[in-house]
Each structure stands twice: as structure tokens, then as C-alpha cells.
Chains A and B, each alone.
Chain A
Amino acid sequence: MESHAPAAAAAQPGVCAPAARAQTAVKIYGHGQTLVRALDGVTLELPAAAFTAIMGPSGSGKSTLLHCLAALDSLTSGQVFLGETELSALDDKRLTLLRRERIGFIFQSFNLLPALTAIDNITLPLRIRGQDPDQAWIDQLVRIVGLGGRLRHTPAELSGGEQQRVAAVRALAARPEIVYADEPTGNLDRRTSEDLLKFLRRAVTDFGQTVVMVTHDPVAAAFADQVIFLADGRVAGELAAPSRARVLDALKELEA
């Protein structure tokens, strides 16, 4: 039986090629009077097999950056890469296939399909790929998040925390190269947030999964290996081995 860890598991943060990167990424919305430069020349690297948090005040462009990195939105200029693939060169179909084969998502509002049961939601990306689920891997993930008895329930019958854990398992089920999480704890209370973050931390540590998370919560950021700060569409700083206190300090400095 093959290992459950992705191929990049052995790699150390920063040692080998980054999982994804942005090169002078610019994203402009509107024009004339209403012109907004959401990204104003962002250049950064996201190390493989690491847990990176992206932080910044509202309007700093952190969500836009995530959408562009995740092939959900396109840049006005500049480049984003997933591994060695340059995304702006791809058409809609290739972007779709790229999301399907290489990227996992966790959304703030869970975004489970209401009609499907928890387990059907989890295996949906695999079904879209036309691939049979790796049952042992999914069982393992389900055991870790403690969803065992709830798999036959529909989202309406699950609590918010349970729904987000289903979404997290869904993101990891197909072993993507990278998992993007957009404010994953935004709709959760303190305790369920912590459960989710522990799970993401474990995915990185134990299985070598690459996770990139946008958050405004210093507690959440403290679970990451490094924090990248954004302000006014630019990279405003980085912080390795963050703690809640150091993240708060950095944010204060940013707003000052």
C-alpha cells in the first residue's frame, strides 16, 4: 500500500522549489474614478509542505491574491505559478482541470452542496475527476476530524463546525498539491475553530500537505509556519514561527 503522504512530504520548508508563487501580481477592478488596485505588484513565494497564513486589514488584497493563486480569478498583469505552471497562460478549460487535479479549497461559508450527504460532498472532487476514492485515506481523515457518525447526514443536519470539517476533508481527499483556505474559521466559534486549525496543522506536519490560509485572526495565524502580511495590495512584511502576540504586534505596526 502506498504512503498516504503526498510526494512533497520529504521536502523541508524553503529548501526546494516553492509550491506556488506570485511575480509582480497586479489586479485592477473598475476604471476611471472607480479604479481600485486590489493587488499592486505582489511578489511572494509559498513554500511546499508548509502552513502559510496571509494576513492584512480589510481591503489589503489578501482574498484577491488567494483567488488569483487558486485559479479562480485572473490577474490584470504579472504572473502567478502553481509549481512550474504559469496560470495566466491557461484558458478556462485548462484552469478548470488544474483546479480539479492540483488544488483543494476550504471556503469561509463551507459551500457544501445542500443536496448531497457529508460523504458525497467529500468524494465530490474525486467524482468530478472520474476517479475512485482512496477509501483508506478518507477513513483516516474522517477519523482525525471525528466525523465518523455524521457521514450520512446532509449539510442541513450538521453544525457549522461539522460542516467546515467536512469541507476540510473534502479539500484533502484528493491529495492536491496545495490547499487554499479563505477565512476558514470566519463562521466558527473559538472551540470549533481550534479543532479545524489543529487538523490543518496536522495535515502539514504529518502528511506534508501544503496549506495556504487567508485570515484576519491572529490566533489562527499562530498555527501557521509563517505569516505574510499584505497592505494596500503589496507585501508589507513576513513573520516566521509566529505566535499570537508577535502577530498582533506586527499588525499594530502595519496599521500605525
Chain B
Amino acid sequence: MLRVTVAGLLAHRLRLILTAVTIAIGVALVAGTFILTDSAAGALGGAAAAAAPAQVVVQPAGADGGKSTAAPTSLAAGLVTQIRAVRGVASAQGLVAADKVTLIGKNGREITHRRAANELLSYPDIPALAAQYTIQSGRPPRRPGEALLDAATARSLGYRVGDRIGVATTTTGPGPGSGTGTGTTTLTVVGITGFGGADSPADAQLASFDAPTVVVVQAGTAQRLAGLPGRFTEIDALAAPGVSAATLSRRLARLLPPGAEAITGGQAAALQASDAASHLASLRTDLLAFCLVALLVAAFVIANTFAILVAQRTREYALLRVIGASRGQVLRSALTEAAILGLAASGAGVGLGILAAAGLRGLLTVLGGTLPPDGLTFAPRTAVVALATGTVVTVASALRPARLAARVEPIRALREALPTALRRSRGRLVAGIIGITAAVALLVTGSVAQSGRSAVFVGAGALLAIAALVTAAPLMAGPVAHLIAAPTAYLRGPSRGRSRGVAVAVALARDNSAANPRRTAATAAILTIGLAAAAAVSIVATSARASARDAIDGTSHADLYVLGNVGPGLARAIAAQPGVRTTMRIDSPLVEVAGARTRVDGIDPGRAALLMNYGVRTGARTALRGNAVFVSTLQADRHGWHIGSPVTINFGQGAPRTLLVAGTFADKRFTGDDYLMPITTLFRDMPDQLDSSDVLIRAAPGTRPRAIRSAIGTLIRGYPGNSLLTAAQYQSAQAADLGDLGHILGVLTALVALTVLIAALGIANGLALSVTERAREFGVMRALGLTRRQLGAMIRAESVIMCLLGALPGAAIGIGAGAALAAALTRGQTGVATIGVSPVQLAAALAATCLAALLAGIVPARHAGRVPALRAIE
């Protein structure tokens, strides 16, 4: 039987090529995802190992490595001397790490990255600690005013040793409002460094999918530039020979001030690695979710191909039965064919996976992100998983066609093969209705679930809806085909010539589609999934934007925004501009509220009335002064707070403070934060921040925002690191942050395009196969007088009918699933579920899909046109 199977495969190899390609693409994506994430993990592991000698790290509690969005807390310099005096300490060194540093390139323009924040680090004097810097050219910084620059930036901006780089600095006085000025310190690049073999720190890249610019300077310079004179953000101690890091960390813990902790280098590396690993894991999950969609599309293509092949080979199977093959043998033969095809295509797919990994990395780069470039890791697991996935999907998809093959009666060897009537249509209808109902229930559940869990509900609902539609689609093929073809009926009127010829072709296409509902529906289903994915991604993205816009429109009265590091001086200068009615600074540092890290907004309550409406629910707006804090109703409900409740806030400096709830405001909106407090109270408890001070500006009555925009634009040019945004620009900037979608949305969009490509291949495959299958039918039509052009038009019309039959339900499912997901997501972000629909994007997706289907129909239509009329007789 195996010989028959192999012969069968070889005989149909041309017809199976497109199917094999779709399997290979799906498998390549799976393999590529594993290869990419394994490679990134490998690079990360290498970096962590290099950065972790036998040492103890003393850092402010909870500062997880000091480089992420940690509250900028610090340790006094005196602690270093104390640590050095401890028995078992061989040496100790204070280090400074600051992020969100404003850097000015040699062309005088600010160096920014889409998602990564620039870092300022101090260069350790102890060689063991400096080991993580792999200097590629030049030397380490030895004097103030010298700096090492990361190799990635050096490459992208063309930096060489001897070039200059500026760092924007703020000299901060002891209290708010006192003597703060802004300036730029110019450093000379004396060396270009890598990080454990990579050009950029691996962990920073994984956290943001972007490579930050890193400037490494002497400790003293770092303290001055970071505004931390006499303080460090981390103290590293090396153990003397014979003393373990664990022992040393216990000894050091005893002399540490409150709020500081001592952990071993191993623990610090592990913390960093686990942080990065969770970023990697979520990237892998996102990518695999889309591989699943691609494989699902491939599954439909496979099922469709095998169904058509089985129909074409009915006589062959019947003959096998006549000469004594059992049903089981026919079934096994058909499944073996699928397994061989699946295995071969998956093998090719694994090979393509290496390309796919490079492609995915390239895609992330094009979209402004990077991953550590450290070769490509090909784990045996990748091959096993990819091969197994491809083969199992292929065999499972071929199961139904194989069973149909096994059911072929021996008598069919002698009789013309004719399409079987659609049976159990009532069963199909009932199953379809039940499936759709359940799917809607799942989507609704998903839309009100917490955003983490909603994806599971929505995913299950969307899959169920697709399954239900595929079940019921053959019943809809006829009516839908008539509906779609209806608009061309008017062409049959008194007009003559070409348009009438087209009308005839369309009418024939309509009847063909309606008469072969199963073939039509099976091919259409391929597109359903593709469009569902496209629509869902579009809805989620549009909703995120709409949600941000609503939140901002509803709560902010500002006409212009200056974002960056606005100090009081600049704030006063802006307020003094003619045409400005009022301005207000907002500072949003990351602190710890009731044990959870979050941002609080420091505002000026007196000016807030004119600039923002945060929807006070309880308490009076005037109560926001002194030690008062306003909390969102969301947090108030969660913690059971009401007016007068004490709230503990750890500002990271000194002892935590207790503030009193003075009121609640409607959900978290506008800035996206849950807490409001007077900015004066905020600055009393933590030094004025360098990084996150923004200013809201409202134009005077009668003054158009555009009129003051250029003046303020000119003003802030003297203050690097600030940018001026209009209300619309601010909205889109906020939207990009919403739901942390920014980094992954581009990838999703690209994968959606790939899915549509696979779907188009599937449609082309289905049409090509059916043209072969229908050659005799076309011959008859040609003999009866259908012109080549009309025959081609008929095939193209069939592909459009098929496309709309597949795409419209797909769009409906995608809109439903996307809306459910968006509702959960936006409610989690702003407290208000917002669903945004972009008709343009949806129409574009639909048009692109139909165009793909139309293009897919070109070659088969041409082939059909070449069928000679004599084919009817031979």
C-alpha cells in the first residue's frame, strides 16, 4: 500500500506544492519564533554571566538592578567607607546609574530612541567590576569630561573616539523652587564599548525592544550629571578570598540604613535575568499566538486541497476497493500521504525558520526595535516542536478528506463521479447557530473580564465563531452568492456587448458557487481567519487610540503640552509668553503607594481648575492641599479607602509618609495615573525630578493655540530634552503607550499581512485545483459558446464571491473579538471601556483581501481559458 501512497503523492506533486508552501510558512514562523527567542535568551545569559563575579550588591530596596523605571533612590557616599571596613570585604566601589538622561549629539540635536531611555553609568575602577565593558576602541574615562559610548550608538550615529556628546544637566537646590538651572555639559568620547560581546546592554534591549544610548563616565562626573552629588545608586563589594558572597551579604546587611538591601551578585544577575526572561516569554507568547493563526489558515488550505484531491481521485480509490483494499487501508494510505507531505513541508519550514528568525529580527529593527544580535541559536527542541507541529496539523487537517476517501463505494469505479448532495443541513444549521451563540457569550464574557484573562475568552470565542461559520457556511453559500451577484443583474438590461457578456459570466459564477456550496465554503473559510485577525488587530489599535483621545478630551483643557524635563525657570518663561492664559507643571514620579509601585501626579491645585477636569466624585477640589491626596475610585474601591483614610507613600527617600485621602476622582484618566497630590508636597518629600516634568498650557481667550505655538517652540529650543506637542499630538503619543501595545502592534500587523498572504496562496491553490477538476465542464461551456474572456471573467467572479463569502464573516468575527479585547484592555487602562472602529482600515483590509483573492484567480482563470472546447468530448 505504501508504494501506492508514494506514487499518488508524486503524481500530484504539482497540485500539492502550494499546500506544502503554506505548511512550510506556518512551521517556519514557529521555528523562527523559537530560534529568535532562544538566541535572545542566549545573549542574555552570556551578559548575566559576565556581569556576575563573586560580589555583593548593595542597593536601595526593590531597585531591581537600578536600570529599569526604578524610583531614583540613592545611597550616601559614606556607606562605601563603612562597607570597606567590614571584615571579608576585599574592595568596594560606589556606582551611579541614571536613566532618562537627555543627550545632545554632535550635530546639536537630541539623541532619542523610540522606546529605550538613554543611560548614564559610572565606570568602576575595580577591574573585576569593569569586566562587563568590552572596550572596542579607545580607553576608559580617566578624567572628568571623558566618556565611553556604547558601540550601537557609535555605529548608528557615526561616533568615533574624539567626538563630543552633550548631557543636559539640572543643578538642583535643596528644596522646590530654589535655584534650579538648566545647562549642557559637553563630554569627549574617549572610547567605544560593547557589553559582554553585544553592542548594547542585552537586558535594556529586551525590556524595550530598543537599544538605548549608554554613556559611561567617571563616578564623580556621573554624580554631578545625575544630580546626585555625594550619593550612589549602587555599591558593589568584592569578597576577600575564602569569604562567600552569601556570608558577606549577611554581614553587610547589618550596617545598612533602612531602605537599602544587600544581595549577592548571583541574586542580582538572577533578578535581572528573570526580568528579561519574562519579557522574552511574553514576546514568545505573542509571536506563537500569531503562528497559531497562520497554522490555522494552513490547516484550512490542507483540508481544502485534500478534499478536492479525494474528489478527483474517487475513481482511483474505488478501483483500489474493487481489487480488494479495505476501508482501513484506503484511510491509512490517505493519511500516510498527508503525513509524508506534512513531514517534508515541515522539514523545509524548519530550514526557512532560520530565515524567518532573521526576518522577524529585521522586522523588529524596521519597527524601531532591536534584540541582542548574538548569532542564531538552533536548539534541537526547535526542530522537534516545529516538525511535530507541521506534521500533526497536516494529518489532522487531512482526517476528514481521508475518511471521505475511505467511504468511496467500489461501484464508483464504474460510474461517473458526481457531486454529493449536501446532507444533514438541518444539523449543520443547528450546530452553526449554537456555535455562534456560545461564541458571542464567550466574547461578551471576555469583554467584561480582567484584561489578562479576557484574551483567553476572546480567543476561544473567536475560534468557536470561526468553527461555527465554517460548519454553516455551505448553507449560506447559495444565498450569499445571489446577494453578491445581484448588483450586476442590471447589466443584463437593454445594454449590449461587453457588459452583457460580463453579466452572463457573473450569473454563471453565481450559479456555480451556489451549486457547489461545500467547495465554495471550504475555500472561503481560508479567508475568514485571515480577515478576522486583521480586523481584530485594527479594532484593538483604533480603540487604544480612541480611549486615549477620550480620556484626554474629557479631562484636559490644555491647548499645548511641553513634555520632558521642565524646570521652574522654563515654566515661568512659558507662563510669561503673551497669549498664554495659564500654565501648570505636572510631575509624575514612580513611587510606592500602599506597597505597590505606581505613579502619582503632583499638580498645582490652584491652577488645575483651568487646565484639567479630573471628575471629582467625593470631597472638594479645594481640599487638595498639604498632606491630602486624591485617589481614583478604582483604587478607592480596591483598598476600601474613603475620605480621611490614611495612605502610605514611600517616596524612596527618608521614611515613608502617610497622607490622607481628601477625595476621589472618576477613574484614572488623562495622565493614566491613580493618585493626585499637590506638587509642593511632592517636592518636599523628594527632590525635583530631572526627567518627568511636563507643562500644560492654556491659551488666553481669543488667542488661537497656533498663535503661541511658534513662540513657545522657539523658547524651549534653549532647553534640550523638551518637546512641544499640540493636543492632537499629545493624544497620539499617549495612545502609543496605552496597553503597552506600541512595540508589538507593528509585528502583529506584519504577521496579519503574512496570514492574508497564506490565505491568498490557499485561494489560488483551491482555484487551481478546481480548474483542473472542472476542465471538462469548462470544455462544455466553451463548446456551447462561452468565450475565453467570459470563462476567465466567470472564474474571477467566482473568486470574488468566494472572497466576500469568507471575508465578510471574517470581518464580523474580527470586529467582535477585537471589540471584546479592546473593551477589556481600555477599561483596565483608563477605567472606561472604549471601542474605536476605523472604517478606513477595515475597508482597506477587506479590499486588500479581495484584491489578493482576485490576483489569486488570475492564473487559474488563464488556465481555464486555455481549456479547448474539445476537452468536452475527450
Contacts and interface: CB of A to CB of B under 8 A. Distances in A.
A254 interface: no
Nearest to A105: B783
Given A111-B776, A115-B419, A96 B501 contact: no
A128 to B, nearest CB: 5
A111 B872 contact: yes
Interface in A122-174: 124-125, 127-130, 154-156
A111 B780 CA distance: 7
B419 A156 contact: yes
**B-side binding surface: helix, strand, loop or mixed?**
helix
A63 B503 CA distance: 34
A18 to B, nearest CB: 23
B870 interface: yes
Contact of A107 (B416, B504, B516, B873): B873
Nearest to B504: A130
A73 to B, nearest CB: 6
B407 interface: no
Contacts of B515: 115-116
B780 A113 contact: yes
Contacts of A130: 492, 500-501, 503-504
Contact of B418 (A105, A108, A156): A156
Interface in B767-792: 776-777, 779-790
A113 B512 CA distance: 10
Interface string B350-376: 000000000000000000000000000
B73 to A, nearest CB: 76
A37 interface: no
Interface string B744-785: 000000000000000000000000000000001101111111
Contacts of B511: 115-116, 120
B534 interface: no
A159 B873 CA distance: 20
Given A92-B788, A114-B419, A129-B785, A73 B492 contact: no
B510 to A, nearest CB: 11
Nearest to B786: A128
A115 B512 contact: yes
Contact of B785 (A99, A108, A182): A99
A191 interface: no
B560 to A, nearest CB: 65
A52 B405 CA distance: 46
A107 B869 CA distance: 12
A111 B779 CA distance: 9
B508 interface: yes
B785 A127 contact: no
Interface in B666-693: none
Contacts of A156: 418-419, 421
B401 to A, nearest CB: 20
B504 A97 contact: no
Contacts of A92: 788
A127 B873 contact: no
A213 to B, nearest CB: 14
Nearest to A176: B785
Interface string B466-494: 00000000000000000000000000100
Nearest to A98: B785
Nearest to B503: A130
Contact of B508 (A107, A108, A127): A127
B222 interface: no
B507 interface: yes
Given A120-B511, A130-B504, A114 B418 contact: yes
A36 interface: no
Contacts of B872: 107, 111
A209 B786 CA distance: 23
B869 A125 contact: no
Contacts of B784: 99-100, 105, 124-125, 128
B788 A96 contact: yes
A100 B785 contact: yes
Nearest to A156: B418
B418 A96 contact: no
A122 to B, nearest CB: 11
A125 B492 contact: no
Nearest to A112: B780
Contacts of A97: 785, 787
Nearest to A71: B869
A45 interface: no
A72 interface: yes
A101 to B, nearest CB: 7
A216 interface: no
A124 B421 CA distance: 21
Contacts of B786: 96, 100, 128
B795 to A, nearest CB: 14
Contacts of A73: 870
Contacts of A107: 780, 872-873
Contacts of A252: none
Contact of A128 (B416, B777, B785, B869): B785
A93 interface: yes
Contact of A67 (B508, B781, B785, B870): B870
B84 to A, nearest CB: 91
Contacts of B419: 114-115, 156
Interface string B120-135: 0000000000000000
B412 to A, nearest CB: 12
A72 B870 contact: yes
B98 to A, nearest CB: 74
Contacts of A182: 873
Nearest to A103: B785
Contact of A93 (B421, B492, B500, B787): B787
A10 B506 CA distance: 39
A99 B500 CA distance: 18
A127 B790 CA distance: 12
Contacts of B421: 156
Contacts of B782: 96
Contacts of A111: 776, 779-780, 783, 872-873
Most chain A CB neighbours (cut-off 10 Å) among B500, B507, B780, B789: B780
B788 to A, nearest CB: 7
Contacts of A105: 783-784
Contacts of B503: 130
Nearest to B789: A93
A50 to B, nearest CB: 23
Nearest to B517: A115
Interface string B849-874: 00000000000000000001110110
Nearest to A180: B783
Contacts of A96: 782, 785-788, 869
Interface in A179-237: 182
Contacts of A63: 873
Contacts of B776: 111
A135 B478 CA distance: 25
Interface in A54-107: 63, 67, 72-73, 92-93, 96-97, 99-101, 105, 107
Across the A-B interface, the 10 shortest Cβ-Cβ residue pairs: A100-B785, A115-B515, A156-B418, A130-B500, A111-B780, A99-B785, A96-B787, A72-B869, A125-B784, A128-B785
Interface of A: 63, 67, 72-73, 92-93, 96-97, 99-101, 105, 107-109, 111, 113-116, 120, 124-125, 127-130, 154-156, 182
30 contacts: A67-B870, A73-B870, A96-B788, A96-B869, A97-B787, A99-B783, A99-B869, A100-B784, A100-B786, A107-B780, A108-B873, A109-B416, A111-B872, A113-B781, A114-B419, A115-B512, A115-B515, A116-B511, A124-B784, A127-B507, A127-B508, A128-B508, A128-B781, A128-B790, A129-B785, A130-B492, A130-B500, A130-B503, A156-B418, A156-B419
Given A114-B418, A114-B777, 10 more contacts: A72-B873, A96-B785, A97-B787, A107-B873, A115-B419, A115-B515, A125-B784, A128-B785, A130-B500, A154-B418
Interface of B: 416, 418-419, 421, 492, 500-501, 503-504, 507-508, 511-512, 515-516, 776-777, 779-790, 868-870, 872-873
